[in-house]
Amino acid sequence: MSRLNPYIVLLTLIATLGGLLFGYDTAVISGAVSSLKWYFIRPRHLSTDAASTLLGFVTSSALIGCVLGSIIGGWVSTHIGRKGGLVIAAVLFLISALGASAPEFMFAPIGHGGPTYIWNFAAYRIIGGVGVGLASMLAPMYIAEIAPARIRGNLVAWNQLAIIFGMLVIYFVNYAIASHGSTAWLHKIGWRYMFLSGSIPAAAFLLLLFMVPETPRYLMLKGREDKARAVLSRLVPAEEGDREIADIRASLTEHHSGKLFSFGALLIVIGIMLSIFQQFVGINVVLYYAPTIFKGLGMTTDASLLQTIIVGAVNLLFTIVAILTVDRLGRKPLQIIGAVVMAISMIALGANFMFHGKGVIALLSMLIYIAGFALSWGPVTWVLLSEIFPNQIRGKAMAVAVAAQWIANYLISSTFLILNNNPYLIKTFNHGFAYFVYGIMSILAAVFVWALVPETKNRSLEQMQHLWIKPGSASPDQ
């Protein structure tokens, strides 16, 4: 097949709407924090600590749903399907967008609920988080299972591009809404439109999913070979489709267990550690706290927000570079190169803080770090997670790995302020300690990939299980 099948492109673009909503839903809260504090927290007249704790729970409540969504993702992908799981995610995104914008719906007139309905709001955010957890796992899995091996990395990496694009879109949507009226209007009504705006891409995603088929691998897993063959006939030429059907059938008959550790514990550990390192290198600290970091260097609010936008633009640009190179250079080289770049830039950023360096050096360090992440551990980790697991356990294993990723996300995000504001660490490292930690984690990530992660470039998904079967064994169970 010399040209890329337009039908595969269409299916990939529809699936990546799950990634776009992933980015959109997790970032929408950034523009509404002050309004949520004014609307839900201030009228309760709580102590400073209690108010901060409650606001922290409300703004991060979606993460609870993300963990739950990724945990149930294995069951959903196995019993309901990859497409079915994405449909569920789209419905949850839609419910969350509508509910978070009007948490008092069915209990009080919309717009007049007040602080009483803070728990309704949190519940809707958790529902959206479940959608994010499902989509973060199922969108790359769906793409991997329909993509030809030679361009699978490229197409799966589109999902990461969609996540970043979703974040950038909601930043501009939030800015437009905030600029529409006064601060008082934003605190009373405007924040609702921020969450409501998510209903548009969610509804589009739900409708478009009715155009896509289930993946051939899932259909074969459920014994629906005729349907799988029909789907493959639209994805690849007939001869290639017959060969792929035979390979899938062979992979399923060679090994029937489907238990999580049936291909060995090492495989599951690799998946989990890929997820953990993706977060422990500190990416979400940079993305979540970039304005705070820049303000800590003495920059004005406007300058820090502008530089945050620059960070987002670099992230987008180098993700495109990863898309163009992941199937040419391979997964391992990009992961190792990216980890080394991140280690150098994080250590440089820490040293810049420690020795009271200039803001321009900090900005350059962060931009180089973002470039290194976007070139590697951002998109390529998702590529690896979607393809290293054999057909029989892909759903279960990805669920475990993605759940570990969301837990690691929470741990690294919640500990940054502790490391950054500790009096002893401030005195010794002047706010630079956390970045030294992330630099060391990046070094460990490079060593981990070099030592344990196999190269998966140009391998079919059916060939993956042979990476984990010991020579001379008839099956992984033997």
Q: Helix H segments across 236-330?
A: 238-254, 265-280, 283-296, 301-329
- Take residue 35 and report the two structure tokens written for it: 């309004």
Contact 245, 231 (CB under 8 A): no
- The CATH fold of domain 6-212: Growth Hormone; Chain: A; (1.20.1250)
Distance between CA atoms of 61 and 71, rounded to whole angstroms?
16
Q: How many residues does the chain have?
A: 478
CA distance 341 to 354: 20
Helices of type H across 147-237: 152-178, 183-185, 191-196, 199-209, 216-221, 225-235
**Residues 93, 62 contacting (CB under 8 angstroms):** no
Is 96:198 a contact under the CB 8 Å cutoff? Answer: yes
Indicate the SS3 state at residue 179.
coil
Tell me the C-alpha distance between 345 and 367, whole Å. 9
- Domain boundaries for CATH 1.20.1250.20 within the chain: 6-212, 259-471
259-471: CATH architecture: Up-down Bundle (1.20)
Angle separating helix axes 394-421 and 265-280, nearest 10 degrees: 30
Contact indicator for 209, 83 with CB cutoff of 8 Å: yes
Q: Which pLDDT tens digits describe the chain residue by residue (478 residues)?
A: 347 789 999 999 999 999 999 999 988 887 788 888 898 988 888 887 788 788 878 888 888 999 999 999 989 999 999 999 999 999 999 999 999 999 988 887 787 777 889 999 999 999 999 999 999 999 999 999 998 888 889 999 999 999 999 988 888 888 888 888 888 888 888 899 999 999 999 999 999 999 999 999 999 989 899 999 999 999 888 888 888 888 888 877 765 566 888 888 899 999 999 999 999 999 887 776 665 666 655 655 455 556 667 777 888 899 999 999 999 999 999 999 999 999 999 999 999 988 887 777 888 898 999 999 999 999 999 999 999 998 888 888 999 999 999 999 888 877 876 787 788 888 888 888 989 999 999 999 999 999 999 998 888 877 777 777 654 444 444 4
Q: What is the pTM of this model?
A: 0.84
Contact call for residues 310 and 362 (beta carbons, < 8 A): no
Helix axes 394-421, 433-452, angle to 10 degrees: 160
Q: Which two tokens stand for residue 422?
A: 């500790």
